[in-house]
């Protein structure tokens, strides 16, 4: 269903200019059947859908009379194979929209052809016609025909019986008619999808769960080292307090207190003068001796 509309400047509706001198804007919108391929993502209980592709090509032999009728074929050719039969309602086969082979073979879709019954098409046209022209119990779908509609209709109420239809009022009050028609299309899409809730398409939901498994035996060695370090520290504190001596911490006095004795110093000095200090360090063995509370390193 295509709608072409002309919108005049407010100066004409206010009676300040005549039609021939009024600026006119024109635009066209259309509603059509299509098959959408969706990519669904379920995140934290919220379903998000994104249209990946859309297909509008109908199968050539679909939506045809069940019996050969030259008049119907002539009607379709004259109306460029329109879906609106007007007052020429006859039993037709389902309208079929088929996904092209080159796309279907590359996708993971399970269905390639989608059918739309004549009942659904006629009902949808009836709802749209009622929204455009208003409800009249004396006029059926077969008697309706496209015509020009003017809003606001001068001399007639803008709402209710005898006035403009609800869809016409909505289009007139809209600041963005293409967006309004797009919202109508989304609403019709939801309406058609909701009719299939009795037989929903089942999908696959994937949930990622993080499971932490602690292998405690890997902690045995670090724990033993940690406990040994604590025991060593406690013993050092206890020994320091028992001896009654001040804690040296990083003082150089600790090194000086364990300095080599006189004989060892002489041996090291002679080795350094003859460049044999490295050889001496490999063969020399020293022990720590405590003399009158002072420790010294002596050669063994």
The pLDDT value recorded for residue 99 is 92
32: tokens are 């059509």
The pLDDT value recorded for residue 146 is 53
pTM: 0.54
How long is the chain? Answer: 300
Could you tell me if 236 and 254 lie in one domain?
no
Overall number of domains in the chain = 3
**Residue 209 located in a structural domain:** no
The pLDDT value recorded for residue 159 is 44
**Residue 80 located in a structural domain:** yes
Could you tell me if 221 and 290 lie in one domain?
no
**Residue 289 located in a structural domain:** yes
Chain Cα centroid distance, residue 48 = 6
The Cα 121–Cα 177 span in angstroms is 24
Q: Which domain holds residue 228?
A: 214-247
**Residue 48 located in a structural domain:** yes
**Residue 297 located in a structural domain:** yes
User: What is the Cα Rg of the chain in Å?
Assistant: 47
Of 116, 150, 185, the residue that ends a domain is: 116
- Across the chain, which has 300 residues, the per-10-residue mean pLDDT values are 80 84 86 89 81 90 84 84 76 91 87 89 80 61 54 48 62 81 87 76 76 90 94 89 67 57 78 79 77 72
The pLDDT value recorded for residue 233 is 92
**Residue 223 located in a structural domain:** yes
The pLDDT value recorded for residue 86 is 67
The Cα 241–Cα 246 span in angstroms is 9
DSSP per position, 1-68: -EEEEEEE-HHHHTTSS-GGGS-EEEEEEE----EEEEEEEEETTEEEEEEEEEE-PBPTTSS-BSS-
């Amino acid at each position: 269903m295509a709608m072409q509309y002309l919108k005049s400047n407010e100066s004409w509706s206010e009676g300040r200019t005549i039609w021939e001198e009024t600026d006119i804007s024109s635009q066209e919108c259309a509603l059509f059947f299509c098959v959408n391929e969706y990519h669904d993502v379920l995140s934290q209980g919220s379903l998000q859908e994104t249209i990946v592709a859309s297909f509008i090509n109908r199968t050539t032999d679909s939506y045809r009379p069940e019996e050969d009728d030259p008049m119907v074929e002539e009607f379709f050719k004259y109306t460029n194979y329109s879906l609106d039969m007007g007052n020429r309602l006859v039993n037709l086969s389902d309208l079929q929209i088929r996904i092209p082979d080159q796309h279907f073979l590359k996708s993971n879709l399970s269905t390639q052809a989608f059918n739309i019954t004549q009942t659904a098409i006629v009902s949808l046209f009836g709802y749209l016609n009622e929204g455009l022209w208003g409800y009249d119990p004396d006029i059926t779908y077969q008697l309706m025909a496209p015509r020009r509609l003017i809003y606001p209709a001068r001399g007639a109420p803008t709402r209710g019986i005898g006035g403009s239809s609800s869809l016409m009022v909505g289009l007139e009050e809209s600041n963005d008619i293409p967006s309004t028609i797009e919202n109508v299309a989304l609403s019709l899409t939801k309406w058609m999808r909701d009719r299939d809730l009795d037989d929903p398409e089942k999908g696959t939901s994937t949930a990622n769960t993080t499971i932490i498994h602690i292998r405690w035996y890997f902690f045995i060695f670090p724990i033993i080292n940690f406990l040994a370090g604590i025991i060593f520290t406690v013993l050092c504190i206890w020994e320091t307090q028992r001896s009654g001596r001040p804690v040296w911490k990083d003082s150089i006095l600790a090194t000086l207190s364990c300095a080599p004795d006189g004989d060892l110093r002489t041996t090291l000095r002679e080795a350094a003068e003859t460049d044999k200090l490295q050889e001496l360090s490999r063969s020399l063995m020293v022990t720590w001796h405590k003399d009158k509370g002072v420790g010294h390193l002596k050669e063994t």
